[in-house]
Chain A
């Protein structure tokens, strides 16, 4: 019955041919393969697609256009992929990009589980990964490596800035609803440290799966705890749904909700009526200064919404990477990485930013308060600036980093 083997073998060879791809050749000339490829790996269809997604691809393209589409005479190309918030898809894609498609740098990497997976592959393949989308502090602590930069924010920054602000305004007891993966746990931990430091107290927490269909039972648990503040250690669609369910069950009448990582797109989705008065820690807001307004409006023209911190950071990281390639005179990963860590970064997203030895990009952070519908002058006019937190206070100090690359 196996007599049609020749067909099978033919099939096998055909498949093999389909699968065949050239192996990357490194180090030939200044620009390997004669092209600089930027891979945008992101969530194009899931709960983070609003805050990163298509907008990140647009942002990366804006950086390439601004750079003139060429670096050291070689064309710059952008490729993109949807990791569907799955670490295995992200890792496989990154590996395939590095192995067979000559991708030089990967940006965005939203979702900490997926981002950490990409970071591992980048380290193994000695290529650069600049993460702007993911928040876990593991990138610059236990899981740091010489080829990964953590660019936009981390849970230490957003959790501690928001947590302290809420405690100082009377929210002294907390209960967390935490997204059940690297990012959520890291956010809860970093916020807890911050609120304990200013006299707050944590009464309990519950883990909710990523993209949970219904948050009501977790909110009932939070309600039962009697805490004054329900800390939402989640992001994107999960945050939005938690806040909605809280208002459905009347939980927001007696307890305050604190979003520990809130993006401008979340405020847009929920509306000012629900969110007014909330404290938001963010690394970017379009209406900060002339440069941010110019970038924001240009992005708006293409994406039909204002950029989030992640999207602005994808633009900035792509631009700074290209500048580093230009300055280094090569796209060799080690040389470019050295250059990036020497440079002082300045563009629409970042002012005098520096990349530390552990891979953390240090820049100013901001504490905003959401305007009331009456204060807002129109769509996307959402935030009042409460405080500017200098980078060395917003981010975990290098001395506290658990990154093995840091010699103490």
Chain B
């Protein structure tokens, strides 16, 4: 068995693979946060709660309505996006003229309410969701048995991230979006409905969180607390990457997942805190983040 720095290679690669899976979730969530921040100039604290809702709805769909994984993959993000539309239209909209801290506080409140409601209804012990038939079993990679489902998570989230990046950076729609971010008044005068655009952006951002939730459902314990614990890490990811670019948030997310995996091999006690330590370091060297601009 070959070794790297005294660590057996299979163990190293195995942890890196798991780290990559986690990194995919960081990337999808920080991507959504970045899109929303770009357009609405708020940080969506409810992002973790919406990710959790995505996972719980997937479970409910199967347990209560017999809707399987594939339909959930399509429907649940739509439901979450619709919920986002409601939140934006009824609440967030009233805050755009105020200090953007109020947006943070409001979404924090929304996060508490949803987390509390689901906790009240389902407890915290975790709801089981079995892996869809098509992905049961493992790939033998030589160094580890990679469950087919985890491989699918990596593929699906990379595809999602790439598609989002492509739409924002390389299409006409994305061009409007970027223009509206820079100068909403001007874009409005061109006859583009900016308020509608804001709503759609928020819906897409939270829809991404919902999609991440569906992907997570079979791979982890579905619990009302799964979102908030994750979102704090994602905040650190966002601070490290900076809010500047879509690509930046994807790369940072994936990278930090891998670093976490590495930490598990060499010093597993620090694996929970390594992201926060890196954040502190980045703040000392580049306060605006790796990909960010000072605003």
Residues of A near any B CB (own CB < 8 A): 45-47, 49-50, 84, 206-207, 211, 213-214, 216-217, 220-221, 223-224, 236-237, 241, 244, 248-251
Is B221 close to A, CB under 8 A?
yes
List 8 interface pairs A-B (beta carbons < 8 Å), by A numbering: A46-B123, A47-B125, A216-B18, A224-B14, A244-B128, A248-B138, A249-B138, A251-B145
Q: Which residues of B lie under 8 Å from residue A50 when comparing CB positions?
A: 125
A47 near B220 with CB under 8 A, answer no
A221 near B220 with CB under 8 A, answer no
What is the CA–CA distance of A220 and B229 in the complex, to the nearest angstrom?
23
Q: Given known contacts A220-B15, A221-B268, what 14 new A-B pairs fall within 8 Å (CB)?
A: A47-B124, A47-B125, A47-B126, A211-B223, A213-B221, A213-B226, A213-B229, A217-B261, A220-B144, A224-B10, A241-B221, A248-B138, A249-B144, A250-B145
Is B287 close to A, CB under 8 A?
no
Residues of B near any A CB (own CB < 8 A): 8, 10-11, 14-15, 18, 119, 123-126, 128, 131, 138, 144-145, 147, 149, 219-221, 223, 226, 229, 261, 264, 268-269, 271
Q: Which residues of A lie under 8 Å from residue B261 when comparing CB positions?
A: 217
Q: Which residues of B lie under 8 Å from residue A47 when comparing CB positions?
A: 124-126
Please give me the residue from chain B that is nearest to A84 by CB atom. Answer: B124
Residue from A211, A236, A244, A249 in contact with B145 in the complex, judged by beta carbons closer than 8 Å: A249
A211 near B124 with CB under 8 A, answer yes
Q: Which residues of A lie under 8 Å from residue B223 when comparing CB positions?
A: 211, 213
Given A45-B123, A241-B126: A250 in contact with B220 (beta carbons within 8 A): no
A217 near B264 with CB under 8 A, answer yes
What is the CA–CA distance of A49 and B149 in the complex, to the nearest angstrom?
30
Least CB distance, B271 to chain A, in whole angstroms: 8
Given A248-B147, A250-B145: A214 in contact with B220 (beta carbons within 8 A): yes
The 3 closest A-B pairs by CB, nearest first: A224-B11, A250-B145, A45-B123
Given A213-B226, A217-B18: A249 in contact with B147 (beta carbons within 8 A): yes
Least CB distance, A208 to chain B, in whole angstroms: 10
Least CB distance, B80 to chain A, in whole angstroms: 20
Given A213-B220, A214-B221, A221-B268: A45 in contact with B124 (beta carbons within 8 A): yes
B125 near A237 with CB under 8 A, answer yes
Please give me the residue from chain A that is nearest to B223 by CB atom. Answer: A213
Residue from A45, A211, A214 in contact with B219 in the complex, judged by beta carbons closer than 8 Å: A214
Least CB distance, A250 to chain B, in whole angstroms: 4
Q: Which residues of B lie under 8 Å from residue A207 when comparing CB positions?
A: 269
B14 near A206 with CB under 8 A, answer no
Please give me the residue from chain A that is nearest to B224 by CB atom. Answer: A45
Least CB distance, B215 to chain A, in whole angstroms: 13
B8 near A220 with CB under 8 A, answer no
Least CB distance, A258 to chain B, in whole angstroms: 21
Least CB distance, A134 to chain B, in whole angstroms: 17
Q: Which residues of A lie under 8 Å from residue B14 when comparing CB positions?
A: 220, 223-224
Q: Which residues of B lie under 8 Å from residue A206 when comparing CB positions?
A: 268
B8 near A224 with CB under 8 A, answer yes
Q: Which residues of A lie under 8 Å from residue B271 when comparing CB positions?
A: 217
Please give me the residue from chain A that is nearest to B221 by CB atom. Answer: A213
